[in-house]
């Protein structure tokens, strides 16, 4: 509440848009990992993916709390983001556990970069959102490192580029809707 009181209306709208994007990103990550877990080939990979999805649930709750504090709502497009991400995760799993874990690693690498950008774009007075994003950034870095340690391999060059493109569309739409 204190951090919100220091934001003027344009700052509040900007912070709300950024947190809506972060919330949608967590919806996508959770669905991606659950889709991958559904078709994982071994129990260790499945457990790794389910644990990552569970931690994304925490991030989702933190973003929801910030959205409420900013008098904002989640993206109305979240059901579409979830469905698309679940299917994408299932497709990644079909390529095998090493590719699936590589997908986790690349996802988290891109999310870390996106969070760093949002930390720069947040209004200076929004310490509450900043704290949430900083903790999420630490968790995402750990998820990526754990996926690499579990055998995740580097994805072929077009895949990360396509992922960035899809994420750019999601971010642009979720910020507003």
Q: Please give the Cα distance from 71 to 66 (Å, whole number).
A: 9
Segment 135-163 shows an average pLDDT of: 95
pLDDT (0 to 100) of residue 6: 81
pLDDT tens digits, one per residue of 10-19: 999 999 999 9
Contact 88, 36 (CB under 8 A): no
- Domain total in the chain: 1
Q: Please give the Cα distance from 124 to 13 (Å, whole number).
A: 14
Q: Please give the Cα distance from 156 to 89 (Å, whole number).
A: 16
Q: What's the CATH code of the domain at 144?
A: 1.20.1260.10
Q: Who's near 26: CB < 8 A, 6+ residues apart? A: 56, 59, 60, 63
Q: Who's near 71: CB < 8 A, 6+ residues apart? A: 12, 16
Closest among 66, 101, 100, 82 to 26, alpha carbons compared? 82
Containing structural domain, residue 169: 2-176
Determine the length of the chain: 177
* Reported pTM: 0.92
pLDDT tens digits, one per residue of 64-93: 999 999 999 999 999 999 999 999 999 999
Long-range contacts of 130-133 (CB under 8 A, 24+ apart): 132/19, 132/22, 132/62, 132/63, 132/66, 133/22
Report DSSP state, residue 157: T
């Amino acid at each position: 509440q204190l951090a919100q009181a220091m934001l003027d209306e344009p700052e509040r709208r900007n912070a709300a848009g950024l947190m809506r994007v972060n919330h949608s990103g967590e919806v996508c990550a959770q669905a991606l990992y659950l889709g991958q877990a559904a078709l994982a080939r071994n129990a260790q990979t499945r457990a790794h993916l389910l644990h990552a999805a569970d931690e994304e649930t925490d991030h989702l709750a933190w973003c929801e709390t910030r959205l409420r504090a900013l008098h904002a709502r989640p993206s109305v497009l979240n059901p579409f983001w979830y469905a698309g991400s679940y299917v994408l995760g299932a497709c990644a799993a079909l390529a095998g556990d090493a590719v699936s874990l590589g997908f986790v690693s690349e996802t988290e690498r891109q999310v870390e970069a996106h969070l760093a950008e949002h930390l720069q774009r947040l209004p200076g007075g929004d310490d509450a959102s900043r704290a949430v994003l900083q903790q999420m950034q630490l968790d995402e870095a750990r998820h990526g490192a754990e996926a690499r340690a579990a055998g995740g391999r580097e994805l072929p060059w077009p895949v990360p580029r396509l992922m960035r493109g899809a994420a750019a569309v999601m971010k642009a739409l979720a910020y507003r809707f």
